[in-house]
């Protein structure tokens, strides 16, 4: 009985996709966006992307080393965080500020809460909002073609007209990765095709946001205004790449719909009635906080289980 | 008509091509035969032979231990060598009758039935009970109990589970190719018990040749219909099959009969045919020996009680070193530590794999991706249930419908973090059910 075979509980086969492959798909899906970002804003954008990725991976590695945990940088999630954070920064941001944002995103938002899968807030957005509050001036300094100016959304807010075609392609000012709706959509379609994300959260988000804008935007059903709002700011990037973050979105099917509606309404609220022209980052991290509550009230009915209303009525009558 | 199916499920590598094309080969055992007394759900059978007795093939060696139980028959002629605990596929030690095989295969006299249509329902059920027929797809539920529902007139569908959704297994397929008339006649016998019922043959579309040949065969049978099903695991799960064939849903607290259905798999229906028409009890079954580690993967007609080791040796043994050997299919089968265990009425396959995928992967953190949710055919949230299980939170486990799990393993299969979700849910389910029994 010396060479017994290995036993384990069924099933004995596994699907191919693992966590690092999913992360790799996300990185690939973001490729059009950061390549366009570099074309649009120059090599400084490339530098910033590199800095963020390296600081994110390094801070995860060092943190785990410091607390004596097994290194998890191989799952590539820190690379995704760094990349997304960089895409949410203006290309003019000082390097040291980008480093601080990365360290905050990984150490405070992600690792202190238990690492991958445990954070309650999207780390990249947590980092961005932290920077936005701390370094308001540099974080809102948007240069395009060497000229500082308002982003299309800010222009829209002050009542100016914007070129929606430029916004669709991305030839405007803004953060590195948010300007080109087209590139983001290409990546999103790729992610949907490989089965990493589905359309529920982004779809409901965008539709409910559009409805909010039509109802409360003050322009009624004005297509130009609507398209500008949809392509402007971080909406597309947020909807397809940040709101769909598995960890910080509900796992229940109905929960995903409710989450999408929350995002749409909050984004609309912040953009139309808020002080700033932007609203996506805040809407997403705010909705992240609601996830546990949303999940609790949206436990799906199991297959074949009938609602037990009648039983309760009988009990009440007793 | 489009292909019918259920919501959820997964698509594991099918591996059926390994054993699909080769005809079933007869295998006469030579070594000692072991008959565990508990190879069905319900009370263990009680031995009715003593050590030293001579037995014939087809002789009853153990009586049913109650209504929900089944008798056991010798599949060889020989002498009773011992009655002692032996290790079975699940790893448990089960009291078993050991018979030393004289290789003569002398049979008791069987009484064939010329015209089963003349039998009454009670006679048919009695014969099925006396033949020791149990669910041969793996569950092992005594068939006569299944065929005696409280309200027989409410049964509307008899569903033949011809899905064979477990990867690698092809025994049902081979039997449908080689002896389809057994299945059809067996179905007609069951339909005779339920005059209002319709017979449905639910077949996955990866067996399109069988769908076509069966459709041809039932074209003159007004009460039998072929239902082509989408190839997806676990299409052959009882609840999923009922959903796909009839659109009805049942939960863990219900029986198929509550939805007007009775589900039996191919091997079981064939056994009904053999018992009624040929008058023979359950002695043989078709067995898939497969996997990339096996010299000659194919289906064998084996005598129940033969050791898997003997089947493996008769088939030429291993072609490369196996890392994992599974009794049954890769999704729900039991990994065994040694191949020297007896085949029972419910042992349909031995799968020998040269690679153990499970130990190759390391478990990482759950990223809440929801693939387990998409995969779950029971509409559960496996990742959450597994968490409740880890935390020992029985209350939440039940609130999130943990007891509805059918243990199909789709969640573990799909999980990119390689978490053993099904395993922890199964464990918790056992604990919760044990608690309920205490109360």
Is residue B421 within 8 Å of residue A251, measured between CB atoms?
Answer: no
Instruction: With residue A40 as reference, give the H or E element that holds it.
Output: helix A31-41
pLDDT at A132: 92
Interface of A with B in 48-87 (CB under 8 A): 72, 75, 77
Q: Hey, of A11, A200, A247, A306, which one would you mutate to test binding to chain B, going by the most B CBs within 10 A of its CB?
A: A11
Instruction: Map out the domains of chain B with their CATH numbers.
Output: 116-278 (3.40.50.11540), 371-438 (no CATH)
pLDDT for A51: 96
A308 confidence band (pLDDT: 50, 70, 90): low
Cis peptide leading into B32, omega within 30 of 0?
no
Residue A39: alpha-carbon gap to chain centroid: 23
Give the nearest partner residue to A301 out of B250, B379, B417, using CB atoms. B379
Asked whether the predicted pLDDT for residue B402 surpasses 90, the reply is yes
Nearest chain A residue to B325, by CA: A5
Q: Is B285 exposed, middle or buried (0-12, 13-18, 19+ CB in 10 A)?
A: buried
- Strand arrangement, sheet containing B54-55: B33-36, B93-101, B78-87, B54-55
> Which residues, including other chains, have CB under 8 Å from residue B32's CB and lie 6 or more apart?
B81, B98, B99, B100, B101, B307
* Mean of the per-residue pLDDT values of chain A: 90
**Largest alpha-carbon pair distance within chain A?**
83
In what helix (H) or strand (E) does residue B72 lie, and over which residues does it extend? strand B72-73
CB–CB contact B379 A118 (8 Å): no
pLDDT in tens, A89-117: 999 999 999 999 999 999 999 999 999 99
| Selected residue with higher pLDDT from A146 and A284 | A284
pLDDT, residue A1, reads 42
Query: What's the burial of A186, exposed, middle or buried (CB within 10 Å: 0-12/13-18/19+)?
Result: middle
Query: Is the minimum CB–CB distance between A303 and chain B shorter than 8 Å?
Result: yes
Which chain B residues have a beta carbon less than 8 Å from that of A7? 91, 334-337
Kindly list the residues from chain B whose CB atom is less than 8 angstroms away from the CB atom of residue A302.
251, 378-380, 401, 404
Q: Per the CB < 8 Å rule, is A1 touching B332?
A: no
Buried b (16+ CB within 10 A) or exposed e, B86-122: bbbbeeeebbbbbbebeeebeeeeeeebeebeebeee
Yes or no: say if B40 and B345 are a contact pair by the CB < 8 Å rule.
yes
- Report if residue A278 sits inside a domain: yes
How many helices (H) and strands (E) chain B has is answered by 15, 17
Q: Is residue A1 part of a domain?
A: no
Q: Distance (Å, rounded) from C-alpha B99 to C-alpha B51?
A: 9
- Quick one: pLDDT at residue B437? 87
**C-beta atoms of B338 and A4 within 8 A:** yes
Q: What is the CATH number of the domain that holds A110?
A: 1.10.3430
- Structural domain contains residue A315: no
Report, as an integer, the average pLDDT of B182-195. 94
The two tokens of residue B376 are 């779950």
Indicate yes or no: CB of B250 within 8 angstroms of CB of A1. no
Exposed, middle or buried by CB within 10 Å (0-12, 13-18, 19+), for A37? buried
How does the average pLDDT of chain B come out, rounded?
92
Question: Which of B369, B402, B422 is the best residue to mutate to test the A interface, defined by the most A CB atoms within 10 Å of its own CB?
Answer: B369
The answer to whether the beta carbons of residues A44 and A144 sit under 8 Å apart is: no
What would the pLDDT profile of A20-64 be if each residue is shown by its tens digit? 999 999 999 999 999 999 999 999 999 999 999 999 999 999 999
Domain membership flag for residue A218: yes
- For the residues B180-184, what does the mean pLDDT come to? 93
Ramachandran angles phi, psi of B2, nearest 5°:
-70, 170
Asked if B209 and B168 count as a contact pair (C-beta separation under 8 A), the reply is no
Interval A295-304 mean pLDDT:
91
Q: Is A116 a domain residue?
A: yes
Burial of B186 (0-12, 13-18, 19+ CB in 10 A): buried
**pLDDT of B228-272, one tens digit each?**
999 999 999 999 999 999 999 999 989 999 999 999 999 999 999
- Count of domains observed in chain A: 1
Determine the residue of chain A that is closest to B353 in CA distance: A12
- Give the range of the structural domain holding residue A143, as residue numbers without chain letter: 19-297
Cα–Cα–Cα angle for A183, A188, A194, rounded to 5 degrees: 130
Does A317 contact chain B (CB < 8 Å)?
A: no
Considering only CB atoms, which chain B residues are within 8 Å of A77? 367
- For residue B67, what are the contacts with CB-CB under 8 A and spacing of at least 6? B42, B145
Helix, strand, coil shares, percent, chain B, to 5: 35, 20, 45
Is residue A259, in this structure, part of any structural domain at all? yes
State the pLDDT confidence band at A312, using cuts at 50, 70 and 90: very low
Does residue A180 fall inside a structural domain?
A: yes
Contact pairs from chain A to chain B, CB under 8 Å: 169
| Cross-chain Cβ contact B326/A5 below 8 Å | no
ipTM above 0.90, yes or no: no
How far away is chain A from the Cα of B138, in angstroms, using its nearest Cα?
A: 14
For residues B333 and B327, is the Cβ–Cβ distance under 8 A? yes
Closest-CA residue of A relative to B370 is A251
A249 touches chain B (CB under 8 A): yes
The Cα–Cα gap between A138 and A157 comes to: 20
Give B62: exposed, middle or buried? Use CB within 10 Å, 0-12, 13-18, 19+: buried
Question: Does A303 fall in a domain?
Answer: no
Q: How far is A80 from chain B (nearest CA, A)?
A: 14
Cβ pair B11, A13 in contact under 8 A? no
For residue B345, give Cα distances in angstroms to A98, B142, B236: 67, 11, 19
| Confidence class for position A307, pLDDT limits 50, 70, 90 | low
Q: Which residues 386-415 on chain B approach chain A with CB closer than 8 angstroms?
A: 399-401, 404, 407, 409-410, 412-415
Report the gap between the CA of B327 and the closest CA in chain A (Å): 11
Both tokens assigned to A167: 């916004």
């Amino acid at each position: 009985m010396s060479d017994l075979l290995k036993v384990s509980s069924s099933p004995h086969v596994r699907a191919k996709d693992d966590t690092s492959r999913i992360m790799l798909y996300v990185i690939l899906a973001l490729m059009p966006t950061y390549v366009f970002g570099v074309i649009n804003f120059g090599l400084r954008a490339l530098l910033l992307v590199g800095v963020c990725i390296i600081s994110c991976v390094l801070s995860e590695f060092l943190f785990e080393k410091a607390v004596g945990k097994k290194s998890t940088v191989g799952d590539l999630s820190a690379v995704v965080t760094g990349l997304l954070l960089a895409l949410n920064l203006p290309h003019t941001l000082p390097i040291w500020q980008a480093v601080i944002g990365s360290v905050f995103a990984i150490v405070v938002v992600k690792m202190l809460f238990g690492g991958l899968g445990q954070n309650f807030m999207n780390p990249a957005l947590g980092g961005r909002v932290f920077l936005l509050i701390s370094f308001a001036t540099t974080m809102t300094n948007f240069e395009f073609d060497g000229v500082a100016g308002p982003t299309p959304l800010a222009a829209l807010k002050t009542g100016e007209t914007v070129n929606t075609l430029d916004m669709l392609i991305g030839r405007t000012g803004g953060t590195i990765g948010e300007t080109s709706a087209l590139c983001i959509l290409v990546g999103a379609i790729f992610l949907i095709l490989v089965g990493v994300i589905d359309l529920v959260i982004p779809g409901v988000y965008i539709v409910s946001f559009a409805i909010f804008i039509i109802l409360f935007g003050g322009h009624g059903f004005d297509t130009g205004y609507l398209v500008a709002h949809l392509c402007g700011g971080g909406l597309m990037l947020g909807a397809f790449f940040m709101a769909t973050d598995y960890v910080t979105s509900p796992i229940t099917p109905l929960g995903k719909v409710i989450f999408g509606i929350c995002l749409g309404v909050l984004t609309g609220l912040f953009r139309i009635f808020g002080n700033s022209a932007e609203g996506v980052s805040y809407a997403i991290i705010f909705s992240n906080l609601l996830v546990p509550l949303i999940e609790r009230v949206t436990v799906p009915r199991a297959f074949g289980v009938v609602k037990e209303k009648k039983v309760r009525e009988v009990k009440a009558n007793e | 008509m489009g292909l019918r199916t259920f919501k959820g499920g997964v698509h594991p590598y099918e591996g059926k091509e390994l054993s699909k094309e080769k005809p079933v080969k007869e295998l006469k055992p030579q070594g000692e035969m072991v008959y565990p007394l508990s190879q069905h759900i319900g009370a263990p059978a009680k031995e009715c032979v003593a050590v030293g007795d001579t037995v014939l093939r087809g002789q009853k060696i153990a009586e049913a231990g109650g209504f929900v139980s089944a008798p056991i028959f010798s599949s060889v002629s020989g002498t009773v060598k011992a009655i002692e605990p032996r290790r079975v596929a699940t790893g448990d030690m089960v009291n078993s009758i050991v018979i030393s095989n004289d290789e003569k295969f002398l049979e008791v006299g069987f009484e064939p039935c010329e015209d089963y249509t003349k039998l009454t329902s009670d006679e048919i059920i009695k014969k099925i009970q006396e033949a020791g027929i149990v669910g041969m797809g793996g569950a092992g539920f005594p068939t006569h109990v299944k065929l005696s529902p409280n309200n027989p007139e409410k049964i509307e569908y008899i569903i033949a589970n011809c899905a064979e959704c477990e990867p690698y297994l092809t025994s049902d397929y081979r039997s449908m190719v080689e002896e389809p008339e057994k299945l059809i006649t067996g179905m007609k016998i069951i339909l005779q018990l339920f005059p209002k019922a319709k017979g449905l043959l639910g077949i996955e579309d990866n067996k399109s040749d069988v769908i076509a040949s069966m459709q041809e065969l039932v074209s003159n049978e007004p009460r039998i219909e072929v239902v082509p099903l989408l190839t997806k695991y676990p299409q052959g799960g009882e609840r999923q099959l009922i959903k796909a064939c009839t659109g009805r849903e049942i939960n863990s607290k219900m029986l198929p009969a509550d939805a007007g259905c009775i589900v039996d798999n191919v091997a079981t229906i064939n056994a009904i045919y053999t018992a009624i028409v040929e008058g023979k009890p359950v002695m043989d079954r078709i067995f898939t020996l497969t996997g990339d580690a096996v010299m000659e993967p194919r289906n064998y007609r084996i005598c129940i009680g033969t050791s898997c080791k003997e089947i493996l040796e008769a088939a030429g043994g291993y072609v490369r070193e196996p890392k994992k050997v599974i009794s049954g299919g890769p999704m729900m089968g039991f990994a065994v530590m040694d191949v020297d265990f007896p085949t029972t009425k419910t042992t349909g396959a031995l799968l020998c794999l040269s690679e153990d995928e499970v130990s190759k992967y390391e478990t990482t953190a759950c990223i809440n991706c929801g693939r387990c949710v998409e995969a779950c055919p029971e509409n559960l949230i496996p990742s959450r249930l597994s968490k409740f299980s880890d935390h020992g939170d029985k209350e939440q486990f039940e609130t999130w419908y943990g007891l509805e799990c059918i243990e199909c393993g789709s969640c573990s299969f799909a999980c990119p973090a390689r978490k053993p979700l099904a395993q922890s849910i199964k464990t918790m389910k056992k604990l919760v059910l044990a608690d309920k029994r205490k109360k």
